[in-house]
Structure 1
Amino acid sequence: MKSEKLGLNTICTHIGEVKDEQFKGAVSPLFMSSSYAYEDVEVKRYPRYFNTPNQEALCRKIARLEKCEAGLIFGSGMAAVSTTMLAFLHKGDHVVLPQTLYGGTYNFVVEEFHKFGIEYSFAEGFSEADFSEKIQKNTKVLFVETPSNPLMRITDLEMISKLAKQHGLITMIDNTFASPVNQTPADFGIDIMMHSATKYMGGHSDILAGAVAASEEHIKIIWNLAKNLGGSLSDYTVWLLERSMKTMVLRVRAQNKNAKKMAKWLDGHPLVEKVYYPGLKTHPDHGLAKKQMSGYTGMLSFEISEYLNVDEFLKGLKMIKPSMSLAGVESTILSPAQTSHALLSAEERKRQNISDGLLRFSVGIEETEDIIADLEGAFEKVSRKNIV
């Protein structure tokens, strides 16, 4: 299947299959071997070299979804991010990143970069001026996340691409929150796309994986470092991820639809102070999201009334799981102040508008009536205890 006009569901279902030549099975066979022949073969395969049959096939699927030439899969999203950044940043180089960075990436930058002699600056906002003023003579990379975690701010990808080209920089994006279903940054000129494949690609909260998609030239540079760092993925997990991705479009679109309904419902709730969802017209980046995204994601955040106790609200939920990760078929929720942003001081959190009453909500595929009933039950329970 080489047609460029294949739909997303078809790509997810069929691109990147391993053909079962022996038994003609309907799904990809799993090759568990960690040792392959090296004589009289076209490819000398070795799992740490990212070139087993299942690894290569899945990389084709990911690359096709991101409209890129090539891809690589890793043992985690952070393995993908760290390997990719270190492949292009060396001693004396500089990178510009958003202030609202995923906690794992933020910690990697501030705790490890100084050991490599790599400099960095955080853009305080999302405008061209915010990024432009941080670019230095030794800047090599512009790194962005959009939508942001947890306030769902949108970065203008076309602007970032043009700005980078003006300065001869490489652009990288963590595309996890959007997924290729909702956003393909390559359409706007972004060079390298990264994912925590644990999230929407895996989608069932049961595997750990990372992914990168880019040009063949850029992937070769990443691979040259990746084979030395050893962040490859086991073939069993590769097989599970390929299986899970067959339903990614169906899952993500259902989550998009549910999240938009939930955002509207929460926005009208008397015990909710504010809702952060780019699909709402009241969101500051709604117009931009509408322009560069085909769906608004299944992620949103909301602030509950200052009179309510966050911990008691979470304990009042029966179906929605207070949980650290996101993007599974089941709805999950967490307090950023207690998890992803817990290492920041209260002042730093305030500067990023991360209040103690903020909750990040990963909307699943359940019936929205059931999600609403669960939230309403928690609101009623906690309001009786906290409002007199």
Structure 2
Amino acid sequence: MKTDYKGTNTICAHAGELVDKEFKGAVSPLYMSTSYAFEDVPVKRYPRYFNTPNQEALCKKLAALEHAEAALIFGSGMAAISTALMTFLKAGDHIVLQQTLYGGTYNFVVTQLEKYGIEYSFTTGWEVDDFKREIRPSTKVVYLETPSNPLLTITDVKGVAELAQKHSIISLIDNTFASPINQNPIDFGIDVVLHSATKYMGGHSDICAGVVASAHDKIKEVFNTAICFGGSLSDYTVWLLERSIKTMGLRVEAQTKNAMKMAKYLKSNNDIEKVYYPGLKNHPDHEIAKVQMKGYGGMLSFEMKDYIDVSEFFKALKLIKPSMSLAGIESTMLSPTKTSHALMSEDDRRKQGIKDSLIRFSLGIEETEDLILDIEQAISKVKNRTVHA
């Protein structure tokens, strides 16, 4: 969706806002009705048809943020992902998926697609050639995720988009970790952009939502599937999400700065085995990230040395919350093997490089110095317990 606004924060604050014509309030009014007139109206509105006033307004903002023509908002990230996949795939089709994926997406693919006669294959890596090797005559979709969850691998977005275009394949990307603030895949030729809006768009750990953004024709196809699956979002949550997105640019900028500082600190910490963050110059995909990302994001992962008990480390934290999900204003950590990727088998996690010692770290907006002090006291406490055990 094109707007006259040039600045990202201006788009966050103003694109798609509803005008309060009656009272001239500064924020979008909330229309809670689930029943609208059908006679003598230009639009027959119904929540499951994604066309209530608040839904329509928010979708305009989302499209503008992702430089797309249109967007749809869903009840969760997985509702958006599954609906999009089932829109562009049918019996006899094949999909190529990146090896490093969010566990929920992986679980959907391996437990559901075969039921519908859809074949799939995972790449052995995340290079363009890895995708190319898996393409078949029946391949209709390529699916990537960059930065990936939880190892922050970076895939060449433009390269995969060009490969898909060459073979007349639809390209889908999960852009959740980057957010529209740090990456706009449509600018690089990607067809469909997906988000768990629960994360950076919501940003306060109190909203569950998902997004699909694309060209008008593809959104129309997704809509035709979506009205059957019923993954719409309540207007109150839509209104809350529109409110939250107004500060997304400011929040993500602060979180990205914190992540860069934290990655450098963790890299220098002798109790940390390895740090995964594309902003570090020693990250294998750093140069690609520099080209396609405006910022390296507020997410990182790291592995503890073997002598640090991860569970005890979580218990010893005082400020950072050991908590599910990510991208809130508060910093959180979790164990992917116990949470985001628990549905994957141990063997499949090992193939992706996800170890029990791996910790996914979502940086909030706190002062980095306070977060570092919390990490140091927690490590010290765990080490002292080990010594006196």
Do both proteins adopt the same fold according to a TM-score greater than 0.5, normalized to the shorter chain? yes
The verdict on how the C-alpha distance between 1:183 and 1:119 changes in structure 2, with shifts beyond 3 A counting, is same
Q: How many angstroms apart in 2 are the aligned matches of 1:181 and 1:358?
A: 27
Give the letter for the 1:36 counterpart. Answer: Y
Question: CA offsets per residue over residues 112-166 of structure 1, 9 Å max, x none?
Answer: 1111111100001011221111111100000000001111000001110110011
Shift of the alpha carbon at 1:2? 6.5
Deviations 1:166-208 (A, max 9, x none): 1100000010000000000011000000100000000000011
Deviations 1:10-33 (A, max 9, x none): 000000101100000000000000
Query: Is the Cα contact below 8 Å between 1:59 and 1:70 reproduced in 2?
Result: yes
Unaligned 5+ runs, structure 1: none
Measured after TM superposition, the shift of residue 100 of structure 1 is 1.3
1:301 aligns with 2:308: no
- Taking the TM superposition and a 5 Å limit, the aligned residue runs for 1:153-302 are 153-302=153-302
CA distance in 2, matches of 1:3, 1:353: 42
User: Aligned residue for 1:371?
Assistant: 371
**Counterpart residue number, 1:121:** 121
d(CA) in 2 for partners of 1:69 and 1:3?
10
Residues 70-106 of structure 1: CA distance to partner in whole angstroms, max 9, x if unpaired?
0000000000000011011001001000121111111
- In the other structure, the counterpart of 1:58 is 58
Partner of 1:98: 98
- Counterparts of 1:2 and 1:347 in 2: how far apart (Å)? 45
Maintained 8 Å contact 2:106/2:344: no
CA 1:157 to 1:273, structure 2 compared with 1: closer, same or farther past 3 Å? same
TM-aligned CA distance change 1:121 to 1:387, over 3 Å: farther
Q: Distance in 2 between matches of 1:330 and 1:358?
A: 20
Q: In the alignment, residue 292 of structure 2 is paired with which amino acid?
A: Q
Aligned-residue offset at 1:232: 0.4
Q: What TM-score, normalized by structure 1, do the two folds share?
A: 0.98
In structure 2, what is the Cα distance between the partners aligned to 1:25 and 1:299?
36
CA contact (8 A) 1:307 1:387 kept: no
Task: Tell me, in whole angstroms, the C-alpha distance in 1 between the residues paired with 2:13 and 2:6.
Answer: 11
Q: Which residue of 2 aligns with 1:136?
A: 136
SS in structure 1 opposite 2:144? strand
Please tell me the residue identity of whatever aligns with 2:18.
V
Counterpart for residue 13 of structure 1? 13
Q: What percentage of aligned pairs have identical amino acids? A: 64
The alpha-carbon distance between structure 1 residues 346 and 108, as it changes in their structure 2 partners (threshold 3 A), is closer
Distance 1:69 1:151 in 2: 31
User: Residues 237-291 of structure 1, C-alpha deviation per residue, up to 9 Å, x if partnerless?
Assistant: 0000000000000000000000000000000001001100000001000010011
In structure 2, what is the Cα distance between the partners aligned to 1:5 and 1:198?
25
1:20-99 matches, cutoff 5 A = 20-99=20-99
Amino acid at match of 2:311: D
In structure 2, what is the Cα distance between the partners aligned to 1:147 and 1:133? 21
Give, in whole Å, the separation in 1 of the partners of 2:281 and 2:242. Answer: 36
* Corresponding residue pairs, total: 388
Cα distance between partner residues in 1 of 2:354 and 2:201: 27
Contact 2:107-2:343 within 8 A present in 1 as well: no
Q: Give CA-to-partner distance per residue, 1:309-349, whole Å, 9 cap, x none.
A: 01000101011111110000000000112222233344333
Q: What residue in structure 2 maps to residue 361 of structure 1?
A: 361
State the distance in 2 between where 1:275 and 1:201 align: 26
Q: What is the SS of the residue equivalent to 1:194?
A: strand
Tell me which amino acid in the other structure corresponds to 1:306. Answer: D
Q: What CA deviation, in whole Å up to 9, does each residue of 1:201-228 have, x standing for no partner? A: 0000001100110000000000011111
What one-letter code is carried by the residue in structure 2 that aligns with 1:246? K
Give distance in 2, aligned partners of 1:295 and 1:206: 25
Q: SS of 2:337's equivalent?
A: helix
Q: What is the CA-CA distance between 1:58 and the residue it aligns to?
A: 0.2
